């Protein structure tokens, strides 16, 4: 008799027979749910999926993959790393880690990159993805209207897609793996509430050439403002949108608002470009608390100098790795995907940055 599978500690792992027993269905029914085959009543399917989640059952997808003749092709569409922010180097490492792992099983991961400051670049790369007709897609959206139009075309071509870093409302993605954007903005506001006096002002800084389409930045700002509204703080919250992202333009915009608003105590930058604000803050003749996003080299430099006080980080490498692996498990074994996986929100300071692993 075939012995049951065991984990590394020798404990028996749940199998299809146990799932069938608990759901009071046949083994064939469980198999149809696992492999997402049609013809099941929605209630039965949901009942079996719930037990699968409760038991943390993982199908032996490697053995199944070896029995399949088809070679899977997974595409990734994410922004390219740039001289202004190296944030996307982290997700690229996660993609490469997953690609190396599943590449041994004959899965090909093809990478596409777009300029996150250029709608034209995004459209071009999205067209290339659709032309490639991959079996699955990991996608980090930036431009709202264009991204929604793109995923609609993916659905028309029956390409399952996983979203990372930023979600898209009312789209039927296989899964979203990334930050709760509004909650991260709320956390920033909660932190700020301990650092200001009643007469202090707060400056929110959004930096992007195509800001109107960068909904992930606006979601963070919304979460920040909601916290102060909910808790009835009446500090003045100012905002500047900086569309020209070169150092001179950023310095000019900041200098103008600081001349007009001498009570600014905290500056909250809604993306990884907080290091572009740091040189201006560092040369002021008074202490201004500076906070922003992401564990990237250029930000750590200013953390070390004490200019950036807080970074909010949400493990971009892990987001990308999980995204590719979710697609693989879905394609290879029909494994049910967790619809939403919010990443933990980490606060990095000068005291703990050296221990952080993104």
Helix axes 181-193 and 215-230, enclosed angle (nearest 10): 40
Q: Give the whole-number percent of the chain exceeding pLDDT 90.
A: 65
What does the pLDDT look like over 193-223, one tens digit per residue? 999 999 999 999 999 876 555 567 888 999 9
Q: Which of 78, 19, 3, 29 is nearest to 51 (CA)?
A: 19
pTM (2 decimals)?
0.77
Same domain, 256 and 277: yes
Q: Are residues 208 and 327 in the same domain?
A: no
Domain membership of residue 354 (yes or no) is no
Shared domain for 166 and 233, answered yes or no, is no
- Residue carrying structure tokens 């020209």: 244
Statement to judge: residues 297 and 249 lie in one domain: yes
Cα Rg, the chain, nearest whole Å: 23
Q: Tokens at residue 283, please?
A: 């040369």
pLDDT averaged over the chain? 88
User: Looking at the domain assignment, is residue 355 inside a domain?
Assistant: no
Residues 210 and 309 in one domain: yes
Residues 42 and 99 in one domain: no
> What is the number of structural domains in the chain?
3
- Res. 1 pLDDT band, cuts 50 70 90: very low
SS (H, E, C) 292-310: EECCCHHHHHHHHHCCCCE
Are the beta carbons of 124 and 97 closer than 8 angstroms?
Answer: no
The answer, yes or no, to whether residue 178 has pLDDT greater than 70, is yes
- Is the per-residue pLDDT at 19 higher than 80? yes
346 phi, psi to nearest 5 deg = -105, 140
CATH number of the CATH domain containing 32: 1.10.260.40
Beta pairing partners, 76: 111, 138
Which residues lie below 8 Å from residue 310, measured CB to CB, with a gap of 6+?
188, 191, 289, 290, 291, 292, 347, 348, 349
Q: Where residue 74 sits, what CATH number does that domain have? A: 3.40.50.2300
**Do residues 164 and 247 share a domain?**
no
- For 15-24, 56-65, 179-188, 192-201, which range has the lowest pLDDT when averaged over its residues? 56-65
Domain span at residue 126? 69-178+316-343
333 CB burial (10 A radius; 0-12, 13-18, 19+): buried
> Do 187 and 307 share a structural domain?
yes
Q: Does residue 97 form part of some domain?
A: yes
273 and 85 in contact (C-beta within 8 Å)? yes
**Pair (129, 188) in one structural domain:** no
Assess if residue 8 is contained within a domain. no
356 lies in a domain? no
Band the pLDDT of 2: cuts 50, 70, 90.
Answer: very low
More confident residue, 179 or 83: 179
pLDDT given at position 271: 92
Do residues 114 and 139 share a domain? Answer: yes
Span 173-182, average pLDDT: 95
pLDDT (tens digit, 9 = 90+) per residue, 77-106? 999 988 777 899 999 999 999 999 998 888
What 3-state class would DSSP assign to 235?
coil
Do 223 and 300 lie in one domain? The reply is: yes
Asked if residue 126 and residue 47 are part of one domain, the reply reads no
Which tens digit of pLDDT belongs to each residue from 289-345?
Answer: 999 999 999 999 999 999 999 999 999 999 999 999 999 999 988 878 899 999 999
């Amino acid at each position: 008799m075939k012995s049951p599978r065991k984990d590394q500690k020798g404990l028996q792992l749940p199998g299809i027979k146990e799932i069938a027993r608990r759901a009071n269905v046949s083994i064939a029914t469980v198999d149809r749910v696992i492999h997402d085959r049609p013809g099941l009543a929605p209630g039965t399917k949901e009942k079996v999926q719930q037990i699968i989640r409760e038991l943390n059952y993982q199908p032996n997808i490697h053995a199944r993959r070896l029995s399949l003749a088809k070679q899977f092709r997974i595409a990734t569409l994410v922004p390219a790393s740039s001289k202004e922010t190296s944030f996307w180097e982290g997700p690229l490492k996660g993609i490469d880690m997953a690609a190396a792992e599943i590449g041994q099983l004959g899965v090909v991961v093809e990478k596409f990159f777009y300029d996150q400051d250029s709608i034209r670049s995004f459209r071009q790369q999205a067209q290339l993805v659709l032309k490639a007709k991959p079996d699955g897609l990991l996608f980090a959206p930036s431009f709202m209207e264009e991204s929604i139009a793109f995923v609609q075309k993916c659905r028309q071509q029956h390409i399952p897609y996983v979203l990372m870093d930023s979600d898209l409302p009312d789209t039927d993605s296989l899964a979203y793996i990334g930050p709760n954007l509004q909650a991260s903005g709320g956390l920033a506001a909660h932190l700020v509430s301990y650092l200001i006096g009643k007469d202090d002002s707060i400056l929110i800084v959004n930096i992007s050439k195509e800001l109107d389409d960068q909904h992930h930045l606006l979601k963070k700002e919304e979460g920040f403002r909601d916290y102060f509204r909910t808790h009835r703080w009446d500090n003045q919250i100012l905002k500047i949108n900086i569309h020209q992202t070169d150092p001179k333009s950023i310095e000019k915009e900041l200098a103008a608002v600081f001349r007009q608003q001498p009570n600014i105590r905290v500056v909250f930058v809604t993306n990884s470009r907080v290091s572009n604000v740091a040189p201006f803050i560092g040369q002021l003749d008074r202490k201004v608390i500076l906070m922003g996003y992401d564990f990237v080299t250029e930000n750590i430099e200013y953390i070390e100098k004490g200019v950036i006080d807080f970074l909010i980080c949400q493990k971009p490498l892990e987001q990308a790795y999980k995204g590719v692996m979710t697609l693989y498990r879905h394609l290879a074994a029909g494994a049910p995907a967790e619809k939403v996986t919010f990443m933990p929100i980490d606060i990095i300071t000068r005291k703990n940055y050296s221990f952080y692993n993104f």
